[in-house]
Amino acid sequence: MTSTRLRSLAGLAVVAAVALSGCDSVPALNGGVAARVDGDTITMDDVASKAASYCAAVETQLTGGQSAPNSVVSSEVAGALALRSAADQFAADEGVTPDASFKQEQDALEANLGKLTASQKETVREVVLAPAYVSAVELAVGKRLVSSSDAEAAKSAGQDAFAKWIDDHDVVIDPRFNITIDGGVRGRANTDVSFPVSKTAKTAASGEQDQTYAAGLPSSQRCGG
């Protein structure tokens, strides 16, 4: 079985645990499909339109010539959409709603959206909040599975349950997005082209090694800069 982690982008950072895994032997994607999560299909058009909206939103906060390759932005968007779809289906199967802690993440993000358009705000919510949504669903499931009030035990149980759910379902992302898949380890993803929310996020590493590459791309192939 596999685990998918999004590579870090250059610029702003949101630190959040993200993992997406699926069975090794699943049917290939049809043309125009960016990702498939069981019965849910995410199209290339979905990713392209949301990546453009996300880039436009991010550019309002980039400074000093910061930029990131469009391909990396698209990868983050594709991964976030697939992750949210998996979490939605997992929650439905388990009969839970996200833990109340998710509301705090939503409120923190809203305070950073500023004067973005309605479309940009919705896209930023989808991408940035995907990891927090997963964590809240996992916690809700874990609290149901663990009889004690130990939050860490509940969190661990929920993570294990989500990992098993993904292992048992058809989850695949088009390889063109370069979302790394390696064996069975749930990891941390740094979504660096995102709106900083917590103090940790605001002081996270800037990824300068990616800036050199991004700055050398034609303007049509990068976000910002």
Q: What is the pLDDT of residues 57-108, one digit of tens each?
A: 887 776 566 667 777 888 888 888 988 999 999 999 999 999 999 999 999 9
Query: What are the structure tokens assigned to 138, written together?
Result: 């996992």
How far is C-alpha 72 from the chain's CA centre?
12
pLDDT value at position 177?
81
Query: Would you say the C-alpha torsion 29, 30, 36, 38 has a positive or negative sign?
Result: negative
The residue type of 142 is G
Comparing CA positions, the residue from 110, 13, 7, 111 lying closest to residue 62 is: 13
Other C-beta atoms within 10 Å of 224: how many? 23
For Cα atoms 121, 123, 129, give the angle at the middle one, nearest 5 degrees: 90
Q: Is 9:84 a contact under the CB 8 Å cutoff?
A: no
pTM of the predicted model as reported, rounded to 2 decimal places: 0.73
The residue ranges of every structural domain in the chain are: 3-217
pLDDT band at 211 (very low <50, low <70, confident <90, very high): low
Tokens of 189: 């993803």
| Top-confidence residue, 127 or 1 | 127
Per DSSP, 31 falls in state T
Number of Cβ atoms within 10 Å of the Cβ of 31 = 5
Which tens digit of pLDDT belongs to each residue from 19-62?
444 444 445 567 799 988 888 999 999 999 999 999 888 877 76
Q: Is the pLDDT of residue 8 over 50?
A: no
CB 14 within 8 A of CB 191: yes
pLDDT digits (tens, 9 = 90+) for 140-177: 999 999 977 899 999 999 989 998 888 888 888 888 88
Alpha-carbon distance of 6 to 75, in angstroms, equals 7
78: Cβ contacts below 8 Å, ≥ 6 apart: 34, 35, 42, 47, 173, 174, 177, 179
The answer to whether 21 and 169 have CB atoms below 8 angstroms apart is no
| DSSP symbols for 61-127 | T--TT-EEEHHHHHHHHHHHHHHHHHHHHHHHHHT----THHHHHHHHHHTT-TT--HHHHHHHHHH
